[in-house]
């Protein structure tokens, strides 16, 4: 019986914006909003920031390897024909990808903070 009532309340709340549903208890509203956030897909925002940091470190390391002539990952020596193209590819794609992932991570963190504020009633 209680489960039926919850389903009806959730069904009514699903038709409206959860923040506008006055008759929905706060715990039900939180569950509905969390479910909507989970269905949105994508990686969680900390993963975007972590991947951005790893790629930034690799790009900066590639700059140093290019400047000082160190072997790439200890495998490709400076004498190899693929040495400079590999490093230029790491540098040329690494920094823009880092910026994109960093911006996406920050946007996700802001969105999570706004959702938490809304759930807390602010």
Phi first, then psi, for residue 25 (nearest 5°) are -65, 150
Say whether both 16 and 34 belong to one domain. yes
Report how far residue 97's alpha carbon sits from residue 108's, in angstroms, rounded to the nearest whole number.
16
Asked whether residue 15 falls in the same domain as residue 57, the answer is: no
Residues 7, 28 within the same domain:
yes
- Total number of domains constituting the chain: 2
Are residues 21 and 49 both part of a single domain?
no
Structural domain boundaries enclosing 91:
43-122
On whether both 51 and 106 belong to a single domain, the answer is yes
Same structural domain, 10 and 54: no
Alpha helices per DSSP H over the chain = 2-15, 26-39, 45-68, 83-120
Tell me: do 79 and 19 sit in the same domain.
Answer: no
2 and 48 assigned to the same domain: no
Per-residue model confidence (pLDDT) at position 34: 75
Tell whether 26 and 83 lie within a shared domain: no
Residues 30 and 87 placed together within one structural domain of the fold: no
My answer on whether 14 and 25 are in the same domain is yes
Residue 5: the pLDDT is 53
**From first to last of its 122 residues, what are the pLDDT tens digits of the chain?**
545 555 555 555 555 555 555 677 877 877 887 777 777 777 888 999 999 999 999 999 999 998 998 888 788 888 889 999 999 999 999 999 999 999 999 999 998 898 888 877 77
């Amino acid at each position: 019986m209680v489960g039926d009532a919850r389903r009806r309340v959730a069904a009514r709340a699903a038709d409206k914006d959860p923040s506008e549903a006055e008759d929905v208890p706060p715990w039900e509203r939180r569950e509905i909003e969390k479910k909507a956030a989970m269905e949105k897909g994508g990686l969680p925002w900390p993963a975007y920031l972590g991947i951005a940091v790893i790629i930034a470190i690799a790009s900066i390391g590639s700059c140093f390897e290019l400047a000082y002539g160190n072997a790439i990952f200890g495998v490709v020596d400076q004498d190899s024909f693929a040495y400079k193209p590999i490093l230029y590819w790491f540098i040329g794609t690494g920094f823009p990808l880092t910026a994109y992932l960093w911006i996406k991570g920050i946007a996700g963190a802001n969105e999570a903070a706004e959702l938490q504020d809304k759930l807390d009633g602010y």
